[in-house]
């Protein structure tokens, strides 16, 4: 097994109690194979899952101030699914440090996505117990920095009207206004077109299967236009 000192450098946390880290890396198969009540990482996984949810929920709440509960929940789900957590575990090389039963080792347990995702949460739980919430939060934000950057567009799509209003109100107290333009197509498959205006100026148009969807599409188009203009000026 690799030296835990190397792993602690990768984690960015120096454990005061290294036994916590060892426990976080101990797969349940060890107890199953020994047919004994040996401790393993499932309890730490439970704790780490809660800590991860709290840290990410707070950051999403603060980063996307106009997103509603549904958008925030969807964004968090994209961050904490098992595929994502296993990817983070692989980047840290956790597989090489797992303490496995012989059977689990022989059947590819070090590369198993479920084992890696569980280990990531377990390690986070161990960091929380060893260093407190601030240490755990720093670890999570460092690990998920790129993921948060990739969520920018997703958050805009989830609530483009709110994002557009926030952007425009930073410039003017006037709120954007939406105007129904037209509807086309048969009754069972209507396409609606709406425009969004600000201070009497049309910013963009959008289409959708409902007026609400068309307004959201117009808001998203306006956001893209305004950001492109800002980027060109900088």
Instruction: Answer whether CATH 3.30.160.20 is correct for domain 159-233.
Output: yes
Measured in degrees and rounded to the nearest 5, phi and psi for residue 183 equal -135, 140
Q: What is the pLDDT of residue 183?
A: 92
Which position among 59, 104, 118, 121 bears the catalytic label?
121
What are the residues facing 96 on neighbouring strands?
Answer: none
Most confident of 26-35, 66-75, 95-104: 95-104
> Does 69 qualify as catalytic in the annotation?
no
pLDDT tens figures, 12-64: 999 999 999 999 999 988 877 656 567 889 999 999 999 999 999 999 988 87
Q: Is-same-fold flag (4-156; 159-233)? A: no
Rounded-to-integer distance, Cα 1 and Cα 94, Å: 11
Catalytic site includes residue 121: yes
Distance in angstroms between the alpha carbons of the first and the last residue of the chain: 51
Q: Cα 187 vs. chain centroid, distance in angstroms?
A: 39
The pLDDT tens digits for 106-143 are 888 788 888 899 999 999 999 999 999 999 999 999 99
* Cβ-based neighbour number of residue 54 at 10 Å: 15
Q: What pLDDT shows up at residue 202?
A: 95
Q: Per CATH, is 4-156 categorized as 2.60.120.560?
A: no
Out of 45, 49, 193, 215, pick the active-site residue.
49
Domain ranges of the chain: 4-156, 159-233
Contacts for 170 with CB less than 8 Å, ≥ 6 apart: none
pTM greater than 0.75 (yes/no)? no
**Distance, CA of 212 to CA of 193 (rounded, Å):** 10
Token pair belonging to 5: 């000192």
């Amino acid at each position: 097994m690799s030296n835990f000192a190397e792993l602690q450098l990768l984690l960015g946390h120096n454990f005061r109690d290294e036994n916590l880290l060892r426990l976080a890396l101990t797969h349940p198969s060890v107890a199953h194979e020994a047919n004994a009540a040996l401790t393993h990482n499932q309890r730490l996984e439970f704790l780490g899952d809660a800590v991860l949810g709290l840290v990410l929920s707070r950051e999403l709440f603060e980063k996307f101030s106009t997103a509603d509960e549904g958008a925030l929940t969807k964004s968090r789900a994209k961050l904490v699914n098992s595929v994502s957590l296993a990817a983070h575990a692989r980047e840290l090389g956790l597989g090489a440090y797992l303490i496995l039963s012989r059977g689990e080792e022989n059947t590819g347990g070090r590369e198993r996505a479920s084992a890696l995702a569980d280990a990531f949460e377990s390690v986070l739980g161990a960091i929380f117990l060893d260093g407190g919430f601030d240490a755990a939060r720093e670890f999570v934000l460092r690990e998920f920095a790129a993921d948060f950057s990739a969520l920018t567009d997703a958050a805009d799509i989830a609530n483009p009207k709110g994002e557009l209003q926030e952007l425009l109100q930073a410039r003017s107290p006037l709120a954007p206004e939406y105007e129904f333009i037209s509807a086309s197509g048969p009754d069972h498959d209507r396409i609606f077109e709406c425009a969004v205006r600000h201070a009497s100026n049309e910013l963009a148009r959008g289409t959708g299967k409902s007026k609400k969807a068309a307004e959201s599409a117009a808001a998203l188009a306006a956001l893209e236009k305004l950001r492109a203009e800002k980027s060109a000026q900088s």
